[in-house]
Amino acid sequence: MYRFHLPVLLPVAVAAAALGACDKTASPPAEGNAATVKIGAALSLTGPAASYGAQQKAGLTAAVAEVNASGALPVKLELIIDDDASTKEQGIAVFQKLINRDKVAVIIGPTLSNTASAADPLAQQAGVPVLAVSNTAAKGITDIGDHIWRDSLTEAQVIPGAFAKAQQKLGFKSAGVLYGNDDVFTKAGYDVMQKVLADLGVKLVGTQTFAKADRDYHAQLTALIDAKPDALVVSALADNAAAIVSQARQHGWTGPILGGNGFNSPAFIKNAGPAAEGILVGTSWDSTSQSPANQKFLAALAKQSVNPDQFSAQAYTAIYILAEAIKQSGGKAGRDDINAGFAKVKDLDTPLGKFSFTPARDASHQPSVQIIKDGKFQIVQ
Amino acid sequence: MDALRDLLLTYETLVGYVGINTLLALSIYATLSAGQLSLANAGFMAIGAYTGALLTLRAGLPFPLVLVAATLVPALVAVPLGLPVLRLRGVFLAIATIGFGEVVRLGFVNWDYVNGAMGLDAIPQKTRLWMIWLAVAAALFLFARLRGSRAGLALEAIREDETAARSMGIGTTSHKLAVLALGASLAGLAGAFEAHLTFTVAPNGFAFGRVIDMLVQAVVGGTLVFYGPLLGAAFLTILPELLREIGARAGVAPGAFRPMVNGLVLLLVILFLPNGLASLPARWRARRGRR
Amino acid sequence: MGQQALNGIFVGSIYALFAVGYTLVFGVLDILNLAHQAVFMLSAFLALTLVATAHLPLGAAMLVAILAAGVLGIVLERIAFRPLRGRADSNISGLISSLAMATVFEAIALQLFGPDISRFPLGTFPDRVVRIGTATASLLQIVIVGVAVALMAALSLLIARTRLGRQLRAVAESPRAARVLGIDVDRVIAYAFFLSSALGGAAGVLFGLAFNSISPDVGRSVELKGLAVIILGGMGSIPGAVVAGFALGLVETFTVARFGSSFRDVVSFAVLFLVLVARPRGLFGQASVREG
């Protein structure tokens, strides 16, 4: 009746063969070769989070070079960076490749909480430890399982302090909020902001949303400004944030703007230009810290001519945490050794300050508040 | 053996996706077989995916029942949608159904119970490769049997000339509704498979681009024969992965290379292989015969 | 309210300009050109490059970008549409070949400009705020609305008064009859693509200036809005597209003001869907569309 034609199977067979061939040439050095430790990094090098990914790449490569040069470890670190394109789907694909093909010992990233909530379960299932360096959503990251760690503070840790300090300085009593509702990170930021504003007794006079792909925020901003708030509060990724701030200034908004973690990027200042002046942002990294670890970090990034921010600092710190974990497990660098080693990291000197994990595998250190002045982030004392 | 196992693990999702995309391309093929370009299938897929995910997460139903529900619910939505919309022809039907798909997607974005735009996470991975491919085989079998059957001939008559088909006494509305519902079922099932394969569902996965992908895979494979969508889905799902490998090996920066080749291949197929990849063997045979 | 009306007119003028080009090709060929959004995007990038790196004045850069977009339209027609003419399924295959071209165009932009959002240099356009009653608008916004309206008026005149306009209308009515009358149909179609793409390109440049963020996928968000506009206005109807463009812009901004931004797109697509089901001709269309 219906013959199955050869061509039905042919492309599949050809593709399988081709993939097979690829795999052979790419096959990793025999297992048990302890001389190198493969570190996978799933970073958003393209897409809406690309400006963070670029910072993270710079931080990781600088730290790996330093650790390898120092000879502090009996093993060499080998960094494999792959682009998750700021999407869940690509993030899952990258995780699968890193876990099964490259057989990495540990994964750093992914850049966005959105991607992490989808991809981290894969690593948890395969027993590969993950060290998140920028996931700030309070829920749904480290509670995925006992192999998921992070060195980034959550929004819930940063925003309360930042907003309290801002209110104390500026004395606003009402606020209008604009947030991205199709991203875990910006939505989680909004949830925290809403609660913190209520705790501070600030009245919410309006709430508006946008989607990552939006370019036009005039209608939302007009509605918010019409409600006459004392301050605007925005939870957005850097790309959206720059356009939002510019358009708010176009509408003649001169009042204070408080940003979430997404504003924490030199790219934001560059793109928003003068519109960025005076904006307040909480941060997990005190760029002015005089600690030797921070000074070393600043020098390393200056050598790459990268203007460092919280994202490169957290990524850089991750490699030192990893090195410490390997040290703690006696120089062994299997997946389980590293996972066990993370738990033993105590009061490590890093650019972020003295670093230890909480029992819930989260980070815990003092956040700071910064204001944008003359095109630069400055710590508010 | 280990190498083979790793290979399979690495490309497990890829093999699964070829199957899922085949189901989706077949869902477009279903309505195209009656000459109707309906682009509501991303919406149907979303309905199936959310139905499945909610039944698993909130009701704890066993997976087979979940799949049955994800197949039925979109079909139930398709009937009241089809009654008014299937009166439209050609591009107008296409645009109306795009509108429907977007309304469904945005409905999920604004529905707090399903976490709005962030979607549902931590869906247990219950989809196995054999399930997907069993469904693909069943769907292919169904379409193969349809060919030459009474219903199949009626669909062909509608595709050729709807007015003539109606005057011959063929119930054009019921036939068109039937294939719309069938397409909706296939898309819904594919959605449920995907949700239980990737751990997550989110509205953004069902945007306009998704249904365009389905259409492209069906057309590149060929819409005159039932196995065309399989060819198209396999080819266009594997091609980007191959290109990624090749790109990485050749040291080409990721980004532009893949979409460029994708677009060019699509253009070449549509210009020079009007009946898709499925028509290649006939062409080869014809060429050899001429020699 | 006044401010929201201004916002609506502002974004509506860009929707309308984009959709006028879209609907022009549909009126002549009965084909949806899915690469229209990619021409829109490339033109915006070209203007940006001319301003940022070649330091051309904005007006000149815009003119060059619009002409280049028109030429791109002719290329597009040659590669993706002309070979398909006469094929039975040219409706669907045209859709797909134009989609393929859109993918290629986006890849080119990705290669040349990268995936990130690019912006016009600060101060490309003088930052001045104008008060209109209780509302404020920037000078840029007013200029954008003015340019869009002027271009659409010019197109309407061209179609109503010139020989090319008459030929376009003849081909839209019936290509076969037009050929009998001695009209070079291929040439007229090429002109239609030039005009359509030039207008799409102009919309791209204005959009880029207005919201100052251009990326290779920037056209996609406008594409679906453009579809809604040409359906609302009646496929192939240019005055319909103009009115519907402004209408959609206003509906969107007032939805935001009344119900919140989450419902903005729901309302536009629900309107699109209802119009198709209840009155498929749209507001201004005449053609019977129920029978293909």
Q: Does A124 touch chain B (CB under 8 A)?
A: no
- The CA distance from A293 to A321, in Å, is 13
Chains meeting B at 3+ CB pairs closer than 8 A?
A, C
Between C26, C263, C280, which is nearest B88 by CB?
A: C280
- The CA distance from B228 to B233, in Å, is 9
- The CA distance from B102 to C120, in Å, is 32
Contact B281 A6 (CB under 8 A): yes
On chain C, the residues whose CB falls within 8 A of the CB of B208 are 220, 223-224
- Angstrom CA distances, C192 to A64, A74, C196, C236, C270, stand at 58, 70, 6, 12, 31
The four Cα atoms A183, A186, A187, A191 give a dihedral, to 10 degrees, of 170
Contact A11 B280 (CB under 8 A): no
Distance from CA of C262 to the nearest CA of A (A): 6
> A163 CB contacts (<8 Å, ≥6 apart)?
A193, A196, A197, A200, A258, A282
Decide: C269 and C228 in contact? Cβ < 8 Å.
Answer: yes
Decide: B91 and C30 in contact? Cβ < 8 Å.
Answer: yes
CB pairs under 8 A, 24+ apart, for A293-300?
A293/A320, A293/A349, A293/A350, A293/A351, A294/A351, A296/A66, A296/A351, A297/A59, A297/A62, A297/A351, A298/A351, A300/A62, A300/A63, A300/A66
Percent of residues, chain A, with pLDDT higher than 70: 91
Contact C217 A213 (CB under 8 A): yes
Query: Mean per-residue pLDDT for C198-212?
Result: 93
pLDDT of B190 = 97
DSSP symbol at A5? P
Size of interface A-C (CB pairs under 8 A): 75
Helix axes A6-26, B228-250, angle to 10 degrees: 20
DSSP symbol at C124? S
CB atoms under 10 Å from CB of C198, counted, come to 24
Decide: A355 and A363 in contact? Cβ < 8 Å.
Answer: yes
Least CA distance to A23: which residue of chain B? B7
Chains meeting C at 3+ CB pairs closer than 8 A?
A, B
Least CA distance to A114: which residue of chain B? B118
The A257-259 sheet, strands edge to edge: A203-210, A174-180, A231-235, A257-259, A280-283, A368-373, A376-379
Q: Does A201 touch chain B (CB under 8 A)?
A: no
- The CA distance from A325 to A319, in Å, is 10
Place of tokens 């027609």: C77
Contact B6 A93 (CB under 8 A): no
Place of tokens 């989609």: C99
Contact C93 B216 (CB under 8 A): no
pLDDT in tens, A25-57: 333 443 444 589 999 999 998 777 888 898 999
Contact B11 A19 (CB under 8 A): yes
- The CA distance from B48 to B66, in Å, is 9
Decide: B41 and B217 in contact? Cβ < 8 Å.
Answer: no
pLDDT of A356 = 92
Decide: C276 and B40 in contact? Cβ < 8 Å.
Answer: no
Contact B267 C111 (CB under 8 A): no
Touching B: C residues 79-98, CB under 8 Å: 79-80, 83-84, 87, 89, 91-93, 95-97
Contact A271 C260 (CB under 8 A): no
- The CA distance from C125 to C120, in Å, is 9
Q: Does A83 touch chain C (CB under 8 A)?
A: no
Q: Does B263 touch chain C (CB under 8 A)?
A: yes
pLDDT of A1 = 33
Query: What DSSP element (H or E) covers B130?
Result: helix B129-146
pLDDT of C212 = 83
On chain C, the residues whose CB falls within 8 A of the CB of A214 are 221
Contact B109 C262 (CB under 8 A): yes
Decide: C164 and C183 in contact? Cβ < 8 Å.
Answer: no
- What's the maximum distance between 2 C-alpha atoms anywhere in chain C? 58
Tell me which of C29 and A3 has the higher pLDDT. C29
Q: Does B281 touch chain A (CB under 8 A)?
A: yes
Chains meeting A at 3+ CB pairs closer than 8 A?
B, C
Q: Does B95 touch chain C (CB under 8 A)?
A: yes
* Pick from B280, B264, B167: nearest CA to B231: B280
Contact B249 A25 (CB under 8 A): yes
pLDDT of A229 = 95
Between A209, A213, A216, which is nearest C11 by CB?
A: A216
Q: Does A194 touch chain C (CB under 8 A)?
A: no
Phi, psi of A83 (to 5 degrees): -90, 125
- The CA distance from B22 to B16, in Å, is 10
Least CA distance to C253: which residue of chain A? A219
The four Cα atoms A271, A274, A280, A282 give a dihedral, to 10 degrees, of 30
- The CA distance from A140 to B66, in Å, is 25
Distance from CA of A223 to the nearest CA of B (A): 19
Least CA distance to B162: which residue of chain C? C291
Between C136, C253, C262, which is nearest A219 by CB?
A: C253
Between B84, B91, B216, which is nearest C91 by CB?
A: B91
pLDDT in tens, B116-164: 877 888 788 899 999 999 999 999 999 999 988 999 999 999 988 888 9
C-alpha R_g of chain C: 19
CB atoms under 10 Å from CB of A254, counted, come to 8
Decide: B241 and B188 in contact? Cβ < 8 Å.
Answer: no
Contact C79 B267 (CB under 8 A): yes
- The CA distance from A176 to A235, in Å, is 11
DSSP E strands: which ranges in C149-262?
none
pLDDT of A22 = 41
Encode burial over A191-210: b for 16+ CB neighbours within 10 A, e otherwise: bbbbebbeebebebbbbbbb
Q: Can you name the residues that pair with A371 across neighbouring β-strands?
A: A280, A378
Contact A6 B238 (CB under 8 A): no
- The CA distance from C21 to C81, in Å, is 16
Q: Which of B191-200, B241-250, C85-94, C192-201 has the lowest mean pLDDT?
A: B241-250
Between A47, A209, A251, which is nearest C115 by CB?
A: A47
Q: Does A22 touch chain B (CB under 8 A)?
A: yes
Distance from CA of B131 to the nearest CA of C (A): 31
Contact C103 B106 (CB under 8 A): no
Q: What angle do CA C47, C53, C56 make, to 5 degrees?
A: 60
* Pick from C199, C273, C255: nearest CA to B95: C273
Strand duo A368-373 + A280-283: pairing = antiparallel
The four Cα atoms A210, A213, C247, A218 give a dihedral, to 10 degrees, of 50
pLDDT of A6 = 36
- On whether ipTM exceeds 0.85, the answer is yes
Query: In angstroms, how far is the first alpha carbon of chain C from the final one?
Result: 43
> A11 CB contacts (<8 Å, ≥6 apart)?
B231, B234, B235, B238, B277
Phi, psi of B238 (to 5 degrees): -80, -35
pLDDT of B9 = 67
pLDDT of B124 = 86
Tell me which of A14 and A277 has the higher pLDDT. A277
C-alpha R_g of chain A: 22
pLDDT in tens, A308-357: 889 999 999 999 999 999 999 988 899 999 999 999 999 999 999 899 99
pLDDT of B91 = 80
pLDDT of B60 = 92
Decide: A303 and A65 in contact? Cβ < 8 Å.
Answer: no
Decide: B220 and B232 in contact? Cβ < 8 Å.
Answer: yes
pLDDT in tens, A264-299: 888 888 888 888 998 999 888 888 889 999 999 999
The alpha helices in chain A, defined as continuous H runs, are: 6-26, 50-70, 88-96, 113-126, 155-170, 184-199, 218-226, 238-250, 266-272, 292-303, 310-328, 335-343
Least CA distance to B204: which residue of chain A? A182
- The CA distance from B41 to B100, in Å, is 9
Between A50, A215, A252, which is nearest C213 by CB?
A: A215
- What's the predicted TM-score (pTM) here? 0.83
Percent of residues, chain C, with pLDDT higher than 90: 51
- Which pair of structure tokens corresponds to residue A255? 């009042």
Burial of B84 (0-12, 13-18, 19+ CB in 10 A): middle
pLDDT of B252 = 60
Q: What angle do CA B89, B92, B93 make, to 5 degrees?
A: 65
pLDDT confidence tier of residue A5, bands split at 50, 70 and 90: very low
Residue A126, classed as helix, strand or coil, is helix
On chain A, the residues whose CB falls within 8 A of the CB of B251 are none
Q: What angle do CA B48, B49, B54 make, to 5 degrees?
A: 100
Q: Does C227 touch chain B (CB under 8 A)?
A: yes
pLDDT of A366 strictly over 90: no
Q: How many helices (H) and strands (E) does chain C have?
A: 11, 2
Q: Is A204 left (phi over 0), alpha (psi -120 to 50) or beta?
A: beta
Place of tokens 């200034």: A249
Q: Does B165 touch chain C (CB under 8 A)?
A: no
Q: Does B252 touch chain C (CB under 8 A)?
A: no
pLDDT of A136 = 85
> A97 CB contacts (<8 Å, ≥6 apart)?
A82, B10
pLDDT of C290 = 34
Query: What DSSP element (H or E) covers C6?
Result: helix C2-29
User: Tens digit of pLDDT per residue, chain B (291 long)?
Assistant: 566 666 666 677 788 989 999 999 999 999 999 989 899 999 999 999 999 999 999 999 999 999 999 999 999 999 999 998 998 877 888 888 988 999 999 899 888 899 887 788 878 889 999 999 999 999 999 999 998 899 999 999 998 888 899 998 898 999 999 999 999 999 999 999 999 988 889 898 898 888 988 998 998 999 889 999 999 999 988 887 787 777 667 666 556 777 788 789 889 988 998 888 998 888 888 888 766
Q: State which amino acid sits at residue A253.
A: W
Least CA distance to C122: which residue of chain A? A273
- The dihedral of CA C138, C260, A263, C212: what is its sign? negative
Decide: A290 and A347 in contact? Cβ < 8 Å.
Answer: no
